[in-house]
Amino acid sequence: MLKQVDKTGVLLAQIREGKKLTFGRQLQLVVLLSIPAVVAQVSSIVMQYIDAAMVGHLGAEASASIGLVSTTTWLFGGLCSAAAVGFSVQVAHKIGSGDMLGARNVLRQSLTAIFFFSLLLAVVGMSISDKLSVWMGGDGSIRHDASLYFFLFSLFLPALQLNFLASGMLRCSGNMYVPSLANVMMCVLDVIFNFFLIFPTVECRVAGIIFTVPRAGLGVAGAALGTAAAETVVALVLLWYLWTRSKELRLSGEKGNFRPKPQILKNALQISVPMGIEHMVICGAQIMTTVIVAPLGIFAIAANSFAVTAESLCYMPGYGMADAATTLVGQSIGARRRRLTRSFAHITVFMGMCVMGLMGILMYWFAPQIIGLMTPVGEIRELGVMVLRIEAFAEPMFAASIVAYGVFVGAADTVVPCLMNFFSIWAVRLSLAALLAPSLGLKGVWIAMCVELCFRGMIFLIRLKREKWLKKV
């Protein structure tokens, strides 16, 4: 791994130093950054898959209670992610221009700003947790668990926020490996914590010896606490590494001001606010989708939640490549290298479409096995398999929108992509879903999603081709 880190660092340094990068070296650099980024993204969704599978064995109501608030947890998580990106993109630009001191100054100020933002978000989340399940139209039998799950999620938002910030800073500095390993560690910890927190005490027999394994038996609340505990441990590890070990961003032994400066905050807001709105647009649409699905019954709610989680395994590689695209485009723009910026953009988008196209094929064929791992309930499995196979056809164009968005973020161009997402999701997806759901049920909702993702990919490719996002180079 150290050899790969050194090789990545050498190639990234050539961007800053203005040296020529052949197409082969560009491709090599994309691969070196993409693989650990993809591992990090996949491991994060595996953690959600683990939660869904473990809770799924508690029954349909437990699964539906988490599914009911899952879109809102994604909304709050998306806001945390957007806030972190506003600072990490500035770091990528400064590193690309060779201004390491400036990059560390941005990091210091981001720690203060981000922490207070996450505290505010946590207070908001906890204050609405009792009302959320009612607003979402959930059945009375699942409202208590749904509200409790969201309250615990909100309580630990500062840990999630710092996790996003530390990972984003390391990725934008070119270090994809440490965040990747941290995410894998988080998955392992999540399994361990969930095992002891979700299920009740059990007796085990090994080699004829019977012994008792004490467990908390907290059910849905245990799933929330297990995930939160794993996120907290990993956040502390990443912050320690960032503070003491990062070659470009290490803060230990160096004095600096942690008070955010107006210009840094202004730059962060220009990047983060459109991204935050974009997350609100997407998650708001997901919430509206949940509202459309909720009247279809508990089985439909649970199947929709499981299918969304399962599909995430398919599109997380796209988000990993988007992370690589943000780093490469950000540093290339910082180095004022227009042609190289364009080349990295095209390479990452094309690779993302190929990888997610392959993942779509695998998702179509193995849909029964994927859904079957998460729930033993036959009605849920049948619905989940059906909608996953519909979605498989949209994966290449979904990849185009995901990775192209990562390119635009690296260029600090987030306003127009936000508007594009808003139009695509609200004008195309929701209108079609509302039209098709009464007659086709959950199948109609996912047909609408498939059509919208193809449309979104097309308009993002058009914007990528026109190159208006390159105005800052």
Residues forming beta bridges with residue 205, ordered by sequence position: 210
CA distances 414 to 27, 93, 114, 329, 469, Å, are 25, 15, 19, 14, 9
- Reported as a single tens digit per residue, the pLDDT across 423-452 is 998 899 999 998 998 888 889 999 999 999
Residue 261's domain comprises: 2-472
- The reported pLDDT for the residue numbered 137 is 76
Residues in CB range of 3: below 8 A, 6 or more apart? none
Q: Which residue has the tokens 């498989």?
A: 392
Q: Give the pLDDT band of residue 352 (cuts 50, 70, 90).
A: very high
> What integer is the mean pLDDT of 281-292?
77
Band the pLDDT of 61: cuts 50, 70, 90.
Answer: confident
Burial of 177 (0-12, 13-18, 19+ CB in 10 A): buried
Q: Which two tokens stand for residue 329?
A: 């485009």
Residue 24: is it exposed, middle or buried by C-beta count within 10 angstroms (0-12/13-18/19+)? exposed
- Residues 6 or more apart whose CB falls under 8 angstroms from that of 400 comprise 349, 352, 353, 457, 458, 460, 461
Residue 215, φ and ψ in degrees, nearest 5: -140, 160
Position 218 pLDDT exceeds 50: yes
One-letter amino acid for residue 163 of the chain:
N
- The number of folded domains in the chain is 1
- Integer Cα distance of 253 and 260 in angstroms: 20
- Please report the pLDDT score of residue 2 as a whole number: 47
Q: What tokens were used for 94?
A: 């400064």
In the structure, what pLDDT confidence band is assigned to residue 472 with cuts at 50, 70 and 90?
A: low
For a pLDDT cut of 90, what percent of the chain falls above it?
42
Q: pLDDT, tens digit, for every residue of 386-414?
A: 999 999 999 999 999 999 999 999 998 98
DSSP collapsed to 3 states, the chain:
CHHHHHHHHHHHHHHHCCCCCCHHHHHHHHHHHHHHHHHHHHHHHHHHHHHHHHHHCCCHHHHHHHHHHHHHHHHHHHHHHHHHHHHHHHHHHHHHCCCHHHHHHHHHHHHHHHHHHHHHHHHHHHHHHHHHHHHCCCCHHHHHHHHHHHHHHHHCHHHHHHHHHHHHHHHHCCCCHHHHHHHHHHHHHHHHHHHHHCCEEEEEEECCEEEEEEEECCCHHHHHHHHHHHHHHHHHHHHHHHHHCCCCCCCCCCCCCCCCCHHHHHHHHHHHHHHHHHHHHHHHHHHHHHHHHHHHCHHHHHHHHHHHHHHHHHHHHHHHHHHHHHHHHHHHHHCCCHHHHHHHHHHHHHHHHHHHHHHHHHHHHCHHHHHHCCCCCHHHHHHHHHHHHHHHHHHHHHHHHHHHHHHHHHCCCCHHHHHHHHHHHHHHHHHHHHHHHHHHCHHHHHHHHHHHHHHHHHHHHHHHHHCHHHHHC
- The pTM of this model reads 0.79
pLDDT averaged over the chain? Answer: 87
- Range from 124-133, 182-191, 235-244, 309-318 carrying the lowest mean pLDDT: 309-318
The 10 Å CB-count burial string (b at 16+, else e) for 402-433 is bbbbbbbbbbbbbbebbebbbebbbebbbebb
Q: Which pLDDT score is estimated for 108?
A: 94
pLDDT in tens, 369-382: 888 877 777 888 88
Q: Using CA atoms, how far apart are residues 212 and 227, in angstroms rounded to an integer? A: 24
Residue type for 108, please? R
Cβ–Cβ < 8 Å for 359, 394: no
Identify whether the C-beta of residue 441 lies closer than 8 Å to the C-beta of residue 382: no
Check pLDDT > 80 for residue 461: yes
Which whole-number Å values give the CA distances from 289 to 69, 322, 340, 392, in the listed order?
12, 25, 40, 19
Three-point CA angle 430, 66, 279, nearest 5°: 45
Asked if the model's pLDDT at residue 71 lies above 80, the reply is no
Task: Give the type of residue at 232.
Answer: T
Residue 15 has what pLDDT?
85
Q: In a 10 Å sphere around its CB, with 0-12 CB exposed, 13-18 middle and 19+ buried, how is residue 28 labelled?
A: middle
pLDDT of residue 48: 67
